[in-house]
Amino acid sequence: MIKPPALQPGARIAIISPAGAPKPQMVERGLQCLATLGYQPVLFPSALAQGPIYFAGNIAARVADLHNAFADPTIGAVFCTRGGWGTAELLPHLNADLIRQNPKPFLGFSDPTTLHLWFAQTCGLGTFYGPMISPDFARGDSVDKGVDVRSFRNALTQTEPWSLGPPDGLRLLRPGKHTQTARGTLFGGCLALLNDSLGTPWALTPPAGDSILFLEEVGTHPYQWDRMLLHLRYAGILDRVQAIVLGDMEQCLTTISAEERARESALLLAALLHNLRDFAGPIAIGLGCGHVNTPNITLPLNVETELDLDGEPELRILESAVS
């Protein structure tokens, strides 16, 4: 994998919208919070575009923003405003050689999962799953309300190993059948987008060798989790996975009352345990990355990691994601 250069203090950060059209006022608030970390956000032309339909500009405009963000030597990283839908439309039009020749940290979650897959499998570029400008940097009056600043800095700026644990929401779902520790390349993202990739030229493919799979979702009922995990299993994805880390399930609970949410949560856990009953590796849950109401964790993808459930759960990032 190509490791992008570490994000430098004061770097100019390209802000793009590869999918849905964001709300301008939310983007403005998010840019102000990003600037408090010492960076210079640079809005690209279609970042605030409204249309056609629900997209942030047409396909050509969104592709041009992504290409120009990577090609610009003054830009230190590329961040997404939001997810939504539309990223997959860009894939046939992207220039892999341009990306490989100009590697930069790319940050986003949800619909940009499609780009994370494309960057890894077509360009060999490591990327970062985590906070976006509109839903996270704009969440409150200070950046730490929506962004886990510790993991953001660890992932994007430093070259030392670091770890995530119970303070980051990580907890045991089910111990491994033979071992409580698994090591491998971390990959994954939003479960629906990973499933949607199957059968396409850009299909989800676990990294060569041992892998650790991260999955998260929003507004997804227990039976939908069960169905999509079954799809991954039938596609042979789980056969190459040593361990699974699941995200914060709070955003998948659609009911309002505490009693109803408790019942729905119990049903979701039961569905997960039923579906993964034959999976031999250790399984953790609760990592606050992706669709969360807590400060969003930045998770480096395509790096060597270790999940250790022998004692307090810990996900160790064993190698730097940046050069």
Q: Does 170 lie in the same domain as 267?
A: yes
CATH number at residue 26: 3.40.50.10740
The answer to the question of residue 293 being in a domain is: yes
Give the per-residue pLDDT at 271.
97
Q: What 3 state SS string does 159-188 have?
A: CCCEEECHHHCCEEEECCCCCCEEEEEEEE
| In a shared domain, residues 73 and 166 | no
Set 116, 151, 197, 216: catalytic member? 216
Q: Assess whether 173 and 112 both reside in one domain.
A: no
**Could you tell me which of 21, 47, 19 has the C-alpha nearest to residue 110?**
19
pLDDT in tens, 79-121: 999 999 999 999 999 999 999 999 999 999 999 999 999 999 9
Same domain for 202 and 279? yes
- Same domain, residue pair 176 and 307: yes
Q: What is the CATH number of the domain that holds 192?
A: 3.50.30.60
| Domain shared by 91 and 114, yes or no | yes
- Given 124, 147, 170, the domain boundary residue is 147
Is 110 noted as a catalytic residue in this protein?
yes
Joined tokens for residue 237: 């994805």
Catalytic residue among 17, 46, 211, 291: 291
114 with 226, same domain: the answer is no
Give a yes or no: residue 106 inside a domain.
Answer: yes
Both 139 and 50 in one domain: the answer is yes
- Whether 322 is covered by a domain: the verdict is no
Residue 4 lies inside a defined structural domain of this protein: no
Q: How deeply is 248 buried, as exposed, middle or buried, from its count of CB atoms within 10 A (0-12, 13-18, 19+)?
A: buried
**Any domain includes 58:** yes
Q: Is residue 25 part of a domain?
A: yes
**What is the extent of the structural domain holding 81?**
12-147
Domain end position, chosen among 117, 147, 177: 147
Complete DSSP assignment for 33-47 = HHHTTT-EEEE-TTT
Residues 215 and 298 in one domain: yes
Per the structure, how many domains does the chain have?
2
Q: Strand 304-308 vs strand 181-190: parallel, antiparallel, or unpaired?
A: antiparallel
Confidence at residue 165, expressed as pLDDT on a 0 to 100 scale: 98
Kindly state whether residues 183 and 293 are assigned to the same domain. yes
User: What's the pLDDT tens digit per position in 129-186?
Assistant: 999 999 999 998 899 999 999 999 999 999 999 999 999 999 999 999 999 999 999 9
Residues 143 and 266 reside in one and the same domain: no
- 189 and 309, same structural domain? yes
| Residue 216 annotated in active site | yes
Residue 280 lies in a domain: yes
pTM of the complete model: 0.97
Alpha helices, H only, the chain? 24-35, 59-71, 96-101, 113-118, 149-157, 191-197, 222-234, 258-275
Q: Which of 17, 110, 134, 211 is catalytic?
A: 110
| Dist. CA 136–CA 143, nearest whole Å | 8
Domain stops at, among 147, 181, 202: 147
pLDDT in tens, 259-273: 998 999 999 999 999
Q: What is the pLDDT of residues 244-296, one digit of tens each?
A: 999 999 999 887 788 998 999 999 999 999 999 999 999 999 999 999 999 99
Q: Is residue 310 part of a domain?
A: yes
